[in-house]
Amino acid sequence: MILTIDIGNTRTKIAHFENNSLKNLIAFANENFIENFLKYFPQIEKTTQTVLSSVGRLSEQERNWLAVNTTLLIITHQNELPFRNNYETPHTLGIDRIVLAAGAVLAFPKQNRLVIDVGTCITYDFIDNDDNYLGGAISPGFGLRYKSLNDYTANLPLLQLEEIDYLVGTNTNKSIHSGVINGIITEIDGIINKYKELHPDLTIILSGGDTLFLAKRLKNIIFANSNFLLESLNALYQYIIENDKKNSSRL
């Protein structure tokens, strides 16, 4: 059993893989990590392989608990990766973005790839067909945009994402929804179009918690997979293990 763990800014997701097949997926708020972990996976033992990607908060006690009770691999900037990291400040590149880039390279070999992850933030990561990671962009996601309108104005309400079918907002709530939702859709389609001007053969991967909401609204053809980061963690783990075996055989 392999458990891939993605600790994001607001939620933790854990996926259970058997023979590279996703068997189960759970998610919970970033609190009471050990309690929630045992609630869903009471059968864990030391031979259980856990692979961790974290951009959120995981305490030293929680990391130590994972290390003691499972076989833990924490993805860091020091891991061997299937791409060359050409970011100007490679040590500042988010671990989640590293995992997504690795997953894109392993799932779509020798292609120009743009990974768009839509969660608390929207991240864009470009890896060329020679497996060079070149960088991308970061912008606020749905929740941050709704919250900022409420936090930094006197009278605008805090709204939650919902389905809309209009462009023109005929009241304040509808105007906020139109601005946030249509703004993000236009942003993503516009950025994809700019990348496609440079790389017409671009492979576009959409991931993150708002994947399903956006996939049906974007004009561009994309590969949409809300679990792509968790699957990429599994793929990267297999890559690291295979490379460790190759390196050991050379000794």
96 among known catalytic residues: yes
CA angle 113, 200, 203 (to 5 degrees): 25
Pair of tokens at residue 164: 């809309």
Name residue 224's amino acid: A
- 38: DSSP letter: H
> What is the three-class DSSP state of 201?
coil
Please pick, among 96, 117, 125, 131, the residue that the annotation labels catalytic.
96
Enter the DSSP assignment of 33: H
Complete DSSP assignment for 158-194: P--------SS-SSHHHHHHIIIIIHHHHHHHHHHHH
Residue 219 structure tokens: 């004009």
In this structure, are residues 116 and 69 in contact, taking their beta carbons and an 8 Å threshold? no
| CA dist., res. 176 & res. 180, Å (int) | 6
Q: Which of 112, 119, 75 is nearest to 94 (CA)?
A: 75
Active site residues: 96
